[in-house]
Structure 1
Amino acid sequence: MANYHAEIVALNADKIGTAAHGTADFTLTDETLTITIEMFDTPANTEHWEHFHGFPDGKQALVAGPAQDANGDGFIDLMETGSVSGTTMVPFDDAPENMDIPHDRYPVADATGHFAYTKVVPLADLQDHFEQAFGSRDLQLDKRVVYIHGVPQSLVLPATVAGMVGDFDQHVTLPIAAGQIKRVD
């Protein structure tokens, strides 16, 4: 068994009006990956996409910061995270093992901006899909970062904020918090 933890801190807080924060814990056994995420002060009554991001080649992913705001609009959007965080890899949704990312089956924050998520994932199924997508069965959790996304549609975003994914716009994909995953045992 291996345990991993991420302290999740706010991104774009000055622009979205709330400083989302929380924790993510991962327990990896021979048969399962248990994911537990608890978030506070996220945009209320809003669905929040959540994933781990990383580089398929195993390079260390890092949390994006102000230096990644390439267009200088004051927002760190999804596209700007890629240079240091890599690509979206595994969703924390109703079935992470399927690695089906663009949909509306993610946690929704309550009226106070809180949500808690726990999922026990069949490891072999996740590894099969991970290998198909990235060429390896090794999740390398300690080389990944967690991102929490999503702001209300009512938030006015400048046209420079990128992040359209399928039918989902920048309100859905805008990062609001992130944390580096570290092994803790």
Structure 2
Amino acid sequence: MTKTYKAEITSLNGDKIGTHPTGEATFTIDGDTLTVEITMDHTSPNTQHWMHFHGFPDGKDAQPATIAQDTNHDGYVDLPETEPVSGTTMVPFNDAPEKMDIPTDTYPTSDADGHFHYTKTVPLAEISEKFKEVFNDDDLHLEKRVVYIHGVPQSMDLPDTIQGAVGKYDQHTTLPIAVGKIVEA
């Protein structure tokens, strides 16, 4: 049996970053595979964009962050500010989602027009096993997750109040630029 989930992805922090990213994500579970397809437009051009689904390990229903989550009132919603409504970063959409390796340089890079298209088919058993190892649940619960697109050019001037650095990756890499709620299609 095939199950399909979709997310309409809309801009977050668009007024501050000077572009309003939009797109769509489709997740198709077909037998023993999960196919993830994400198409984005109006992102920062020629920029690598980290993408993940976020959620709560306890099964709470995640919601997209809005400007209301800007608790330090700097005009940006940074990664830590998304956590109360969206939960934690769970599965990356890079070259190997099933490994759940978040900090890598294998995420898609937008073209000169700010467009990119990502498609990856992963073994459902592998990603479920890794998900269980990390979050103690082998069901991805896609209907309780949100998709985040991150990343602005290193040349963009950002305030020091933006948090979210992961190892060698600074706030330019982790700043959320778009978000969408995953729903069953």
Q: TM-score, normalised by structure 1?
A: 0.99
1:63-102 → structure 2 map (5 Å cutoff) = 63-102=64-103
The one-letter code of the counterpart of 2:165 is M
1:79-113 CA-partner distances (Å, limit 9, x unpaired): 10000000000000000000000011000000000
Match of 2:17 in 1: 16
The one-letter code of the counterpart of 1:35 is V
**How far did residue 67 of structure 1 move?**
1.2
**How far did residue 29 of structure 1 move?**
2.3
Q: Distance in 2 between the 1:42 and 1:70 partners? A: 25
Q: CA RMSD in A?
A: 0.5
1:26 matched to 2:21? The reply is no
Match of 1:147 in 2: 148
Q: Distance in 2 between the 1:114 and 1:83 partners? A: 30
The one-letter code of the counterpart of 2:45 is A
Match of 1:113 in 2: 114
The one-letter code of the counterpart of 1:83 is P
Match of 2:62 in 1: 61
**How far did residue 55 of structure 1 move?**
0.2
1:126 matched to 2:134? The reply is no
1:157 matched to 2:158? The reply is yes
Q: In structure 2, the residue corresponding to 1:146 is in which secondary structure?
A: strand
1:34-64 CA-partner distances (Å, limit 9, x unpaired): 0000000000000000000000011000000
Which aligned runs of 4 or more in structure 1 are off by greater than 4 angstroms?
none
Report the count of equivalent residues.
Answer: 184
1:116-148 CA-partner distances (Å, limit 9, x unpaired): 000001010101110010000000000000000
